[in-house]
Amino acid sequence: MSQNINLKCHVCGANNLNEITRFSILKRVTSDCKLWRNGGRIAWCMSCGAIQKIIDEKWQSETTEIYDAYSIYELSDGEEQPVFEKETGAASTRSSKLIEQFLKVVNLKDNGKLLDVGCGNGALLKSFSDSMPEWKLAGSELNDKYSEEILNIPNIENFYSCTIDDIDDKFNVVTMLHLLEHISNPVEFLTKARELLTNDGFLVVQLPNCFENPFDLLIADHCTHFYLELLKYIIRSSGFEIIFSSSKCISKELTVVARISALNRNVIPSCVNIENILNSRIEWLINLKNDADKLAVKNEFGIFGTSIAGTWLWSELTDKIDFFVDEDKTRIGKKYHGCPIYLPDDIPDGSHVYIALPPVIAESVFKRIDNQNVIFHTPNSFNE
């Protein structure tokens, strides 16, 4: 069920939002993988197609509470979360995959200056320093929590603990890795970011794809939820031309490389049936929760994954979960919400495991796991 509400879209400014009211029954998670309560509000703009949280006083208060207690990659002791190849399960870091793709698209000079906006504890800066050792690097965050860690990265020249408005320098590359989904005025933000680039500089953006990964909708502090056409619309509206865009570079994520453009910014949004797709993804989440709840009464029951999706499903089922399963070996032997974490080969015989991942990825995990003594369950496909 949806209803028109008298609020402005934070992407295009139109007073044309339609709220999906059924979303509020789902519990949520924070972007640093902590449990969060239900009661969230989500809408889509009938003018530009932007999927977004309702930026009201309650949302502002919640995000302040989340960021005050933020701890990045806590279960991995601060190490960047790996991404896994669909077919083989081989692990690599998101940052290294992004840089590898970027260097294929753009022929960079041997030296230059890069700024990573929203650099966290420096995962991307570390990877770029390894790949391009002659470059001078800088990071920016709104606080100095990780300043010492950042400044110890090779080739770091500056750390800025401020908004991008207060950075007085020019860079050949500006990167934003999982940042823009937190920004409540993305066009204005990217327009300001243009001022940080040299005339021939590049903007690199990577963020979650909510069509491929509906669990992104459950992240309480994400205020814009992107699909590829929306991301391209926002970047072009901010005065950039896109030289590379992909939803395949990293599974479940969108990647765009752009440069400053002098073209007219009156960009027309893509015609995509947002209402049907958004409703189908929310219904998929509700059905997944209900299906897992029915299965959880069978013997020992575990969840595959200890990130956003697994955390959310645990919060919906709580005392019905006996263990977690993960392919990230740094997490094995630890406990998550009081439950042990096993490698796929070590799952107790006769157990049932729900692979709490988007359908295509869940199916690829199911195919590569070789454990005949465990019963695995995968979610249904999306109903477009």
- 246-271: per-residue pLDDT in tens? 999 888 999 999 999 976 566 777 66
Which region, left, alpha or beta, applies to residue 253 given φ > 0 means left and ψ of -120 to 50 means alpha?
Answer: beta
Alpha carbons 220 and 53: distance in angstroms, whole number: 8
Query: In Å, what is the CA distance from 291 to each residue of 40, 226, 325, 346?
Result: 22, 27, 19, 24
CATH architecture classification, 293-377: 3-Layer(aba) Sandwich (3.40)
The CATH number assigned to the domain with range 75-260 reads: 3.40.50.150
- Which of 223, 224, 256 is closest to 240 using CA atoms? 256
8 A C-beta contact, residue 339 and residue 300: no
pLDDT computed for residue 303 by the predictor: 97
User: Range(s) for CATH 3.40.50.150 in the chain?
Assistant: 75-260
Give the helix/strand (H/E) hosting 150.
helix 147-151
pLDDT tens across the length of the chain (384 residues): 667 777 999 999 999 999 999 999 999 999 999 999 999 999 999 999 999 999 999 999 999 999 999 887 555 555 666 666 655 556 668 888 899 999 999 999 999 999 999 999 999 999 999 999 999 999 999 888 889 999 999 999 999 999 999 999 999 999 999 999 999 999 999 999 999 999 999 999 999 999 999 999 999 999 999 999 999 999 999 999 999 999 998 889 999 999 999 765 667 776 678 999 999 999 999 999 999 999 998 779 999 999 999 999 999 998 899 999 999 888 999 999 999 999 999 999 999 999 999 999 999 999 989 888 999 999 999 986
pLDDT computed for residue 71 by the predictor: 83
Q: Sign of torsion, CA 216 217 219 222? A: positive
pLDDT computed for residue 72 by the predictor: 74
Our measurement of the distance from residue 87's CA atom to the centroid of its chain's CA atoms, rounded to an integer in Å, reads 22
Burial 309-325 (b: 16+ CB within 10 A, else e): bbbbbbbbbeeebbbbb
Burial class, 133, CB count within 10 angstroms (exposed 0-12 / middle 13-18 / buried 19+): exposed
pLDDT computed for residue 73 by the predictor: 55
Indicate the residue type of 260: I
User: Range(s) for CATH 3.40.50.20 in the chain?
Assistant: 293-377
- 17-43: per-residue pLDDT in tens? 999 999 999 999 999 999 999 999 999
Which region, left, alpha or beta, applies to residue 275 given φ > 0 means left and ψ of -120 to 50 means alpha?
Answer: alpha
Alpha carbons 92 and 381: distance in angstroms, whole number: 27
Burial 198-212 (b: 16+ CB within 10 A, else e): eeebbbbbbbbbbbb
Alpha carbons 280 and 50: distance in angstroms, whole number: 16
Alpha carbons 126 and 107: distance in angstroms, whole number: 20
Alpha carbons 76 and 93: distance in angstroms, whole number: 13
Q: What six digits make up the tokens of 364?
A: 């690829």
Give the helix/strand (H/E) hosting 342.
strand 339-342
Alpha carbons 186 and 12: distance in angstroms, whole number: 10
- Which of 186, 225, 181 is closest to 50 using CA atoms? 225
pTM (2 decimals)?
0.93
Alpha carbons 80 and 58: distance in angstroms, whole number: 30
pLDDT computed for residue 5 by the predictor: 78
Query: In Å, what is the CA distance from 303 to each residue of 30, 187, 334?
Result: 19, 38, 15
Alpha carbons 298 and 65: distance in angstroms, whole number: 37
Give the helix/strand (H/E) hosting 244.
strand 240-246
Would you state the torsion angle of the CA atoms of residues 51, 54, 60, 65, taken in this order, to the nearest 10 degrees? -70
